[in-house]
Chain A
Amino acid sequence: MKNFKIAWRNLWRKPWRTIITSGSIFFGVIFTALMTSMQYGSYDSMIDNVVKFYSGYMQIFTEKYYENKTINNTFKLNDSILEIVRTTPEITQYTSRLEYFTLASSEELTRGAMVIGIEPESENRVTNLKKWVNEGHYLNKGDKGVLVAIDLAKYLHIGIGDSLVLYGQGFHGVMAAGIYPVKGILKFPSPELNKQFIYMDLTTAQTFFSAPDRLSSFVLMVEDHYHLTAAMNQLRKKIKAPFTVMSWDELQPELVSMIEADKAGGVFMKAILYMIITFGIFGTILMMISERKRELGVMIAIGMQRHKLGIILFIETLLMGLLGALSGLLASIPLVYYFFKNPIPLTGDAAKTMIEMGIEPYMYFSMHPKVFYTQAIIVFIITMVIALFPIYKAFTLKLISALRA
């Protein structure tokens, strides 16, 4: 307690120096917390968007289907898979899909398209498909009509109520053919999707492809990507060949590598910032020790053991670090919360790209606890390491030259 008192008072001998040093930590923590929050926020929204846009967080399909996405590698959903999914608590939603390529024709034009058979209600819960309906109506269960993506519809010169002829290959080489009325036009943010997607009811699609009860993939959702690992661990244990389960990051490796690259950039920036802070604290400690050389010498001379002196200096350094880190942490919480509630709208090219990728053009911030505690832990470790220096000094201080100082 005595040590703590001396350390605390020493801290305020040169109040401005302590304030400036702690202040640099304070602003460093706020800045890195904001930066980390922004990074996490943007990853969260990217992942969320991509996942909710199409892939879902996880998909179950056959191993063969993953290698070769043909109609012949589809599967029948059995009770055991349903049971596994239902007993995994992290899983919040699921929906079935059957998808395959086919040709789409109007009176005079033909084009390749991707038919996606969906369960209208659960699909909407998972991917919010309904919100992309630009004209006409969304599908109902058992609907015989189809939803056509806008550019495809334009190319084929068809609109609501017109007939669309589909033909291609069905299950095991059976000829697939049918005429379907256009019930709605879909307008996605991505031109790529607008060119090729046709949605229809799952059973209608199964009939079209002569593949009753068959699915190409079973799409699963969790609350957010922080719950993914737990769910995946359970599913991996239980889902056996010929089936397999994959998470969004395995399904979309490009997005993962983009996030990883961005993260690495962030780490680099944070490392530089923390290095500046480290040198700041270190400089202060060096100055403090050289100024107090004589005083430290007197303390050892009159009978203070060097390790006790070291403890005082250690506490002093630690207090300075904690003061900055804790105050920075306290200040960053409301600040990050403000941006969490009020994401920053983006403009210009970046915004356009994001819209095209189906991501809302906002800079999002995350309130994940990790954002905060990592900064506190990093500063704590830095100060701990720096605080070893005064201990070293206490042990190596040359008594006579200190007393002559």
Chain B
Amino acid sequence: MNVIEIKDLVKIYNSSEVQVKAVNGITVNFEEGEFTAVVGPSGSGKTTFLNMLGGLDRPTSGSVRIGGTEVWDLSSRKLIDFRMNNIGFVFQSYNLIPVLTAGENVEFIMHLQGRPKKERTERTKEMLEAMGIGDRIKSRPAKLSGGQQQRVAVARALASKPEFILADEPTANLDSHSTSELLELMSKMNKKYNTTFIFATHDQRVMDKARRIITIEDGKILSDEKFKR
């Protein structure tokens, strides 16, 4: 079943006289449980694509349907709630709210969703333990390593029970050891909860783990390959 259906997606930036076609007509679907890498050279449009897909950046034209909802037809308030309930985000860095502890960061999104206290507490513990940082529940982000912070961010994304998780270069700031740890954990989560993961990445190790690789160049899909792993 398709979780995401994207048709003729275009994003044009009009920056001082030059028109940049950051995304130039992408049509693609994503199924439940995918573990997909979007790759391509710098400036090829990966971030722009993911942002439109994640309801963060409005496309110039085209459609993004998530679970049957036409995302860019939603009002801005509804769109924020839609993101909260359907999409998990992991950014490159500084994902977490600095004044909240790891546990509070994970709980925060469930708080926004209005889930009961008991569920929040249990799920926070479960997610952090699943990501192997159950012992850091009371630490503030500044006290965590880059890899640990990214793991908290993944735990937070998973905690909200989203349709899929978008991760824009989640390993870009990590050393190789932390990168493989994070990848290992995400792959485990993908299998355990059947959550869809979509990455934008330059990282060969991420590509090696991905079961589908979509290559973008100049805002267009160059190739779309699936692997059995």
List A residues at the B interface (Cβ < 8 Å): 2, 6, 9-10, 13, 294-295, 298-306, 308, 399-400, 403
Contact = CB atoms under 8 A, between A and B. Distances in A.
A6 B113 CA distance: 17
A2 B89 CA distance: 22
Interface in B67-124: 77, 80-81, 83-85, 89, 91, 94-95, 97-100, 109, 111-113
A303 B81 contact: yes
Nearest to B55: A301
A300 B83 CA distance: 9
A366 to B, nearest CB: 43
Nearest to B99: A9
A303 B80 contact: yes
Given A6-B99, A295-B98, A303 B83 contact: yes
The 4 closest A-B pairs by CB, nearest first: A303-B84, A9-B99, A400-B57, A303-B83
B81 A305 contact: yes
B56 interface: yes
Contacts, number: 57
B34 to A, nearest CB: 21
Contacts of B84: 302-304
Contacts of A300: 80
Nearest to A6: B99
B89 A295 contact: no
A400 B51 contact: yes
B111 A2 contact: yes
B80 A304 contact: yes
Nearest to B105: A302
A306 B79 CA distance: 12
Given A400-B51, A403-B56, A403-B91, A302 B99 contact: no
A348 B80 CA distance: 71
Given A295-B98, A298-B94, A304-B112, 10 more contacts: A13-B98, A298-B91, A298-B95, A298-B97, A300-B80, A301-B83, A303-B84, A303-B113, A400-B51, A400-B57
B100, B112, B113 — which one has the most chain A CB atoms within 10 A of its CB?
B112
Contact of A399 (B56, B91, B95): B56
A304 B100 CA distance: 15
B56 A400 contact: yes
B125 interface: no
Contacts of A2: 111
Given A294-B94, A298-B91, A13 B56 contact: no
Contacts of B156: 302
Given A2-B111, A6-B100, A303 B56 contact: no
B100 A303 contact: no
B63 interface: no
Nearest to B47: A404
A51 B81 CA distance: 69
Contacts of B77: 305
Nearest to A7: B99
A300 B77 CA distance: 10
